[in-house]
Structure 1
Protein backbone atom coordinates (compact mmCIF):
# COMPACT_ATOMS: atom_id res chain seq x y z
CA UNK A 1 0.00 0.00 0.00
CA UNK A 2 1.41 3.38 -0.93
CA UNK A 3 1.52 6.14 1.66
CA UNK A 4 -0.88 9.05 1.19
CA UNK A 5 0.45 11.94 -0.87
CA UNK A 6 1.69 14.98 1.01
CA UNK A 7 -0.54 18.02 0.77
CA UNK A 8 0.77 20.53 -1.77
CA UNK A 9 2.02 23.68 -0.05
CA UNK A 10 1.36 26.94 -1.84
CA UNK A 11 3.15 30.26 -1.79
CA UNK A 12 1.57 32.64 0.70
CA UNK A 13 2.83 35.74 -1.18
CA UNK A 14 1.21 35.06 -4.59
CA UNK A 15 -1.72 37.43 -4.78
CA UNK A 16 -4.79 37.18 -7.03
CA UNK A 17 -5.17 37.25 -10.00
CA UNK A 18 -1.89 35.27 -10.08
CA UNK A 19 -2.50 31.62 -9.22
CA UNK A 20 -0.65 30.33 -6.15
CA UNK A 21 2.24 28.04 -7.04
CA UNK A 22 4.01 25.15 -5.28
CA UNK A 23 6.32 26.42 -2.56
CA UNK A 24 9.30 25.50 -0.41
CA UNK A 25 9.55 26.32 3.29
CA UNK A 26 11.91 29.17 4.24
CA UNK A 27 12.40 30.81 7.66
CA UNK A 28 9.90 33.51 6.72
CA UNK A 29 7.24 31.10 5.41
CA UNK A 30 6.23 29.12 2.32
CA UNK A 31 7.62 30.74 -0.84
CA UNK A 32 7.55 30.02 -4.57
CA UNK A 33 10.76 30.62 -6.59
CA UNK A 34 9.75 34.25 -7.32
CA UNK A 35 9.23 35.11 -3.63
CA UNK A 36 12.23 33.47 -1.92
CA UNK A 37 14.29 35.69 0.39
CA UNK A 38 17.12 35.81 -2.17
CA UNK A 39 14.77 36.72 -5.05
CA UNK A 40 13.17 39.52 -3.04
CA UNK A 41 16.64 40.88 -2.22
CA UNK A 42 17.64 40.74 -5.90
CA UNK A 43 20.29 38.03 -5.41
CA UNK A 44 20.62 34.67 -7.17
CA UNK A 45 19.57 31.54 -5.29
CA UNK A 46 22.42 29.92 -3.36
CA UNK A 47 23.71 26.70 -4.90
CA UNK A 48 23.36 23.51 -2.87
CA UNK A 49 26.46 22.55 -0.90
CA UNK A 50 28.49 19.37 -1.14
CA UNK A 51 26.27 17.53 1.32
CA UNK A 52 27.41 15.02 3.91
CA UNK A 53 30.94 13.60 3.88
CA UNK A 54 31.37 10.33 1.98
CA UNK A 55 31.82 8.23 5.12
CA UNK A 56 29.12 9.90 7.20
CA UNK A 57 26.97 6.78 7.51
CA UNK A 58 29.82 4.26 7.58
CA UNK A 59 31.63 5.53 10.65
CA UNK A 60 31.92 2.90 13.38
CA UNK A 61 29.46 3.16 16.20
CA UNK A 62 30.80 3.88 19.69
CA UNK A 63 28.48 1.13 20.89
CA UNK A 64 31.11 -1.45 19.96
CA UNK A 65 33.63 0.16 22.32
CA UNK A 66 31.10 0.19 25.15
CA UNK A 67 30.36 -3.50 24.59
CA UNK A 68 34.08 -4.27 25.01
CA UNK A 69 34.22 -2.25 28.22
CA UNK A 70 31.08 -4.02 29.41
CA UNK A 71 32.63 -7.44 28.75
CA UNK A 72 35.71 -6.39 30.72
CA UNK A 73 33.57 -5.24 33.64
CA UNK A 74 31.68 -8.55 33.67
CA UNK A 75 34.89 -10.60 33.34
CA UNK A 76 36.56 -8.74 36.21
CA UNK A 77 33.53 -9.18 38.44
CA UNK A 78 32.81 -5.43 38.67
CA UNK A 79 29.46 -5.93 36.95
CA UNK A 80 27.04 -8.65 37.91
CA UNK A 81 25.99 -11.24 35.36
CA UNK A 82 24.75 -14.80 35.31
CA UNK A 83 27.45 -17.51 35.38
CA UNK A 84 27.18 -18.22 31.64
CA UNK A 85 27.63 -14.55 30.73
CA UNK A 86 30.51 -14.27 33.21
CA UNK A 87 32.36 -17.21 31.61
CA UNK A 88 31.65 -15.92 28.09
CA UNK A 89 33.00 -12.48 29.01
CA UNK A 90 36.10 -14.02 30.56
CA UNK A 91 36.73 -16.03 27.38
CA UNK A 92 36.14 -12.98 25.19
CA UNK A 93 38.59 -10.78 27.09
CA UNK A 94 41.24 -13.43 27.72
CA UNK A 95 44.33 -13.01 25.51
CA UNK A 96 44.80 -15.78 22.91
CA UNK A 97 47.08 -18.66 23.83
CA UNK A 98 50.29 -19.00 21.85
Structure 2
Protein backbone atom coordinates (compact mmCIF):
# COMPACT_ATOMS: atom_id res chain seq x y z
CA UNK A 1 0.00 0.00 0.00
CA UNK A 2 2.36 2.73 1.21
CA UNK A 3 2.06 6.29 0.01
CA UNK A 4 1.59 5.52 -3.65
CA UNK A 5 -0.94 7.65 -5.49
CA UNK A 6 -3.97 5.79 -6.80
CA UNK A 7 -7.21 7.31 -8.05
CA UNK A 8 -9.21 5.51 -5.35
CA UNK A 9 -6.64 6.27 -2.64
CA UNK A 10 -8.24 9.40 -1.24
CA UNK A 11 -8.48 10.12 2.48
CA UNK A 12 -11.75 8.81 3.82
CA UNK A 13 -11.92 10.98 6.96
CA UNK A 14 -15.28 12.68 7.40
CA UNK A 15 -14.87 16.39 8.12
CA UNK A 16 -18.09 17.15 9.96
CA UNK A 17 -17.80 20.93 9.87
CA UNK A 18 -17.43 20.91 6.08
CA UNK A 19 -19.98 18.13 5.63
CA UNK A 20 -17.75 16.12 3.28
CA UNK A 21 -14.84 13.72 3.16
CA UNK A 22 -11.28 15.06 3.25
CA UNK A 23 -10.44 13.51 -0.18
CA UNK A 24 -6.72 14.39 0.05
CA UNK A 25 -4.76 12.13 -2.30
CA UNK A 26 -1.14 12.90 -1.36
CA UNK A 27 0.56 10.72 1.27
CA UNK A 28 -2.48 8.50 1.86
CA UNK A 29 -1.89 5.26 3.80
CA UNK A 30 -4.19 2.36 4.56
CA UNK A 31 -5.19 1.91 8.22
CA UNK A 32 -7.71 -0.38 9.88
CA UNK A 33 -10.28 2.42 9.76
CA UNK A 34 -9.60 3.10 6.08
CA UNK A 35 -7.36 5.31 3.97
CA UNK A 36 -6.08 8.40 5.75
CA UNK A 37 -3.91 11.36 4.77
CA UNK A 38 -1.12 12.53 7.13
CA UNK A 39 -3.48 15.04 8.82
CA UNK A 40 -6.11 12.42 9.65
CA UNK A 41 -4.13 9.36 10.75
CA UNK A 42 -5.24 7.83 14.06
CA UNK A 43 -2.10 9.18 15.75
CA UNK A 44 -2.55 12.68 14.28
CA UNK A 45 -6.17 12.86 15.44
CA UNK A 46 -4.99 12.08 18.99
CA UNK A 47 -2.17 14.63 18.81
CA UNK A 48 0.55 11.97 18.90
CA UNK A 49 3.58 11.61 16.62
CA UNK A 50 3.48 8.99 13.91
CA UNK A 51 5.09 5.66 14.70
CA UNK A 52 8.11 5.17 12.44
CA UNK A 53 7.89 2.32 9.98
CA UNK A 54 9.76 -0.76 11.09
CA UNK A 55 10.42 -4.34 10.08
CA UNK A 56 7.21 -5.61 11.67
CA UNK A 57 6.66 -8.14 14.42
CA UNK A 58 9.55 -10.48 15.25
CA UNK A 59 9.06 -14.11 14.28
CA UNK A 60 8.98 -15.27 17.92
CA UNK A 61 6.16 -12.85 18.80
CA UNK A 62 3.50 -15.35 17.79
CA UNK A 63 2.77 -17.49 20.82
CA UNK A 64 0.43 -19.89 19.08
CA UNK A 65 1.95 -23.34 19.38
CA UNK A 66 2.21 -25.46 16.30
CA UNK A 67 0.17 -28.66 16.33
CA UNK A 68 3.39 -30.65 16.55
CA UNK A 69 4.63 -28.69 19.58
CA UNK A 70 1.25 -28.98 21.30
CA UNK A 71 1.16 -32.74 20.74
CA UNK A 72 4.68 -33.07 22.16
CA UNK A 73 3.52 -31.39 25.37
CA UNK A 74 0.50 -33.67 25.60
CA UNK A 75 2.69 -36.71 24.88
CA UNK A 76 5.10 -35.80 27.71
CA UNK A 77 2.21 -35.67 30.16
CA UNK A 78 0.76 -38.90 28.83
CA UNK A 79 4.09 -40.71 29.13
CA UNK A 80 4.36 -39.59 32.74
CA UNK A 81 0.94 -41.08 33.48
CA UNK A 82 1.60 -44.25 31.46
CA UNK A 83 -1.30 -43.66 29.05
CA UNK A 84 0.59 -42.79 25.89
CA UNK A 85 0.80 -45.08 22.89
CA UNK A 86 4.49 -45.70 22.99
CA UNK A 87 7.12 -48.37 22.71
CA UNK A 88 6.68 -51.26 25.08
CA UNK A 89 9.75 -50.20 27.10
CA UNK A 90 8.57 -46.63 27.46
CA UNK A 91 5.08 -47.71 28.42
CA UNK A 92 6.34 -50.18 31.06
CA UNK A 93 8.73 -47.57 32.51
CA UNK A 94 5.94 -45.02 32.75
CA UNK A 95 3.66 -47.61 34.35
CA UNK A 96 6.33 -48.45 36.91
CA UNK A 97 6.86 -44.79 37.72
CA UNK A 98 3.14 -44.25 38.11
CA UNK A 99 2.77 -47.38 40.29
CA UNK A 100 5.62 -46.19 42.48
CA UNK A 101 3.97 -42.81 42.89
CA UNK A 102 0.67 -44.41 43.84
CA UNK A 103 2.29 -46.81 46.31
CA UNK A 104 3.95 -43.89 48.07
CA UNK A 105 0.63 -42.35 49.15
TM-score higher than 0.5? no
Per the normalisation by structure 1, the TM-score is 0.39
Q: Which has the higher helix share?
A: 2
